[in-house]
Amino acid sequence: MLRAHRPLGSVMLLRNPFSACLVAGSAVPRGGGGSGRRSLHGSSSSSTWRKPELGRLKLNFDGSSKHASRRASIGGVYRDHEGGFVLGYAERIGTATSSVAELAALRRGLELAVANGWRSVWIEGDALTVIDVVRDRARVRAEEDHKLCEEIAALLPMVDDMRVSHVRRQGNRVAHGFAKLGHGVARPRVWRDAPPEELLRQLQRDAEGK
């Protein structure tokens, strides 16, 4: 599990980049570039996947780490305002903790947003502590987690208009499916326009609100 301290906080609208990571008592400096809107949802969590509004893409991400071997993989999916599949990704990341896998999945999703020029993104995952880190409600302590947080912090200002929310596992099943696929791929995979057949049914169920 991700070791984190959660300070008290309420719903926030941030105009500075994400800067919530701590390791060995040292904080990532606050302030700096990035004037985009950061709409950070409150503590309520949905059990179903929700469509983004017109003009925004939604990223759902997930990490998978096998308990015994710690072999880990990541995955994620971008969808549009109609629930249509835009892009999915999956890859193995070697051995890692579940928290490292979750953070790596988010980092990869943001890298793809930047590479594709997507500036309005709704980020959603089922790892509450990772979401709380982005919301500036938690601070990580493990060194590996902190390094990933710094890399995420460098990417977030490149997304001008960002929403963040937590979803329960049943609302994150497509991202979980991509993460599971990651265990079996020989090299990093990116699907565009057409998703893998294994996930077609769940993508359709999400789009129909089931």
Each residue's pLDDT tens digit, 146-184: 999 999 999 999 998 999 999 999 999 999 999 999 999
pTM: 0.82
Give dist(CA 161, CA 16) in Å, integer. 12
Kindly list the distances between the CA atom of residue 103 and the CA atoms of 59, 81, 140, 179, in Å, as whole numbers in the listed order: 13, 25, 11, 13
> Residue 200: which of 83, 47, 82, 57 has the closest Cα?
83
What digits encode the pLDDT tens for the residues 68-120? 888 999 999 999 999 999 999 999 999 999 999 999 999 999 999 999 999 99
Q: Which of 78, 39, 69 is nearest to 160 (CA)?
A: 39
- Tell me if 89 sits within 8 A of 112, measured CB to CB: yes
